[in-house]
Amino acid sequence: MRHMLFHSIFFSPGSESVKTINKVSVKAGASVSIPCSYDRKYKNHVKYLCKGYVWSSCTYEIRTDSRREAGKYSISEDKSQRIFTVTIKQLTADDTYYWCAVENNNEADIGQRFLLSVTTDKPILTVAHQNVIGYIGDKITIHCSYRNSGGVGWCKLGSTCVTVSGNIDGTAATVNTAVSNVISVTMSGLKPESSGWYYCVKGDFQMPVHLTVTVKPSVIGLQATTETIEVTGTPAATRPTDPGLGEIPNQRYVDPKVHIITLGMLSLVVLVALLMWFIQRCKNIKEDSTDPRSNEWEIVYTAVSFKTKSTPQNEANEEDVTFSTVVYHNQNI
């Protein structure tokens, strides 16, 4: 539930105890996170987001001593960095003036005002992501797109700014504007303490970016070296080895499509072979059915001659008598 604040003292923007950005261009319907830093003496005090142009009559939206998320608002705090962050979702034209505020117990609360310039067009100054990750010892480049005029810069909330090149808390930073309408910021030699909230500056607009620096994940658990192996008849080849483990066999990635194509070709060869066998078999059967020798019965002709003894009666006969008998033999026997 919102509550109206009635402050005994009016604080104009620019309080040294609470710091934040001044003006942010955002797209309607989107969300934005705004960082707010505070003095170390307020580490254990309640922080909150207050909505309204006038400090003395702004309304609570969300606080650190109650639910950390309510409606379109959420709030979080990093006491080690002395920063609390408010996030506003589903931005509309009604989202304009807000205050990063800290309760001051028995004294007047303190706050710093910021302005959200909500547009249905492309924001005047924007980044692809407000949260980026870098790795210890590496470098990272962040691009800020703009469509307005004015000076450029790269700052760390609660620390220093760089306009061309320099160091921010021991981390080298370079600002490059060679590409039209783009501010490219490169931070090199990243360290854990490089983590924090930064913001691009172009004219009177700022865009906050949170950088988290962590240990780079290891893709391969073993540190591989290479040795040259002479192969007869072929150029020298290199294979990875690992101390204490000897040679590591080459592992090549094979696309599953290769296996599918190979299997398909083998299947086609088998089908063609079966088809040729079937055609040849049908051809043999047809030839057997037209060959006379393939008949089940075979006709065998046998000649039998009978000679009679010489007698006075048959000596007069000039020819012998011959009889022929037809005998059928089964060819399969």
In this predicted structure, what is the pLDDT of residue 138? Answer: 96
Q: In 3-state terms, what secondary structure has residue 221?
A: coil
In this predicted structure, what is the pLDDT of residue 288? Answer: 60
In this predicted structure, what is the pLDDT of residue 244? Answer: 42
In this predicted structure, what is the pLDDT of residue 8? Answer: 36
Contact 239, 246 (CB under 8 A): no
Q: Which residue has the tokens 């309760």?
A: 103
Q: In 3-state terms, what secondary structure has residue 41?
A: helix
Sheet holding 69-70, edge to edge: 18-20, 32-38, 83-88, 73-78, 69-70
In this predicted structure, what is the pLDDT of residue 261? Answer: 85
Closest CA to 82 of 49, 136, 112, 45: 45
CATH class of 18-119: mainly beta
In this predicted structure, what is the pLDDT of residue 324? Answer: 55
In this predicted structure, what is the pLDDT of residue 106? Answer: 82
Q: Is the alpha carbon torsion for 3, 8, 14, 17 positive or negative?
A: negative
pLDDT tens over the chain, length 333 residues: 344 443 433 443 445 789 999 999 999 999 999 999 999 999 999 999 999 999 989 999 999 999 899 999 999 999 999 999 999 999 999 999 999 999 998 889 999 999 999 999 999 999 999 999 999 999 999 999 999 999 999 999 989 999 999 999 999 999 999 999 999 999 999 999 999 999 999 999 999 999 999 999 987 654 444 443 343 444 444 444 444 444 444 445 556 777 788 888 888 888 888 888 888 888 777 666 655 554 454 555 555 554 545 444 444 454 555 555 555 555 554
CATH 2.60.40.10 residue ranges of the chain are: 18-119, 125-214
User: What is the CATH T-level fold of the domain 125-214, as seen in this structure?
Assistant: Immunoglobulin-like (2.60.40)
Q: Give the separation between CA 277 and CA 285, rounded to whole angstroms.
A: 12
In this predicted structure, what is the pLDDT of residue 282? Answer: 81
